[in-house]
Amino acid sequence: MQLRFIPHFLFLVFVFLNASCLNDKIGDKCESSYYTTTVEPILITDCANSISCHVSEGNAGADFTKYDVVYAEKDEILRRISLDVSNPDFMPKGGLPLTFEEIQILNDWVAYGAKGCDN
């Protein structure tokens, strides 16, 4: 009699353990971890650390090590990284252009709501 409840119990355990990711997925990744594992490393490597610009007290105004700043600047970031390298507004200024794949990751992130760690 009790054995028939085991599959139901296991199903509920599975749902409970995965509930935090069920409603916020981009592909197979939860959006909260997608930002920190996929989006943020691009910004840190290409916009912040590589040429010391978009960091706290860097030589650019916006600190891309902070999610709220990146979120507020997301449209401008996309615009500037997509410009031709000869354009004076092109970013990263003085650095290598982002790859097609990196730009696509940032575009997808914005298209899916630009979620960060806290939402």
pLDDT digits (tens, 9 = 90+) for 69-117: 889 999 999 999 999 999 999 988 877 899 999 999 999 999 988 887 6
Higher pLDDT, 42 or 29: 42
Q: What pLDDT shows up at residue 86?
A: 93
- The secondary structure element, H or E, covering residue 26 is strand 25-26
**13-22, 48-57, 69-78, 88-97: which is most confident:** 69-78
> 20-29 — which CB contacts under 8 Å span 24+ positions?
24/115, 26/108, 26/109, 26/112
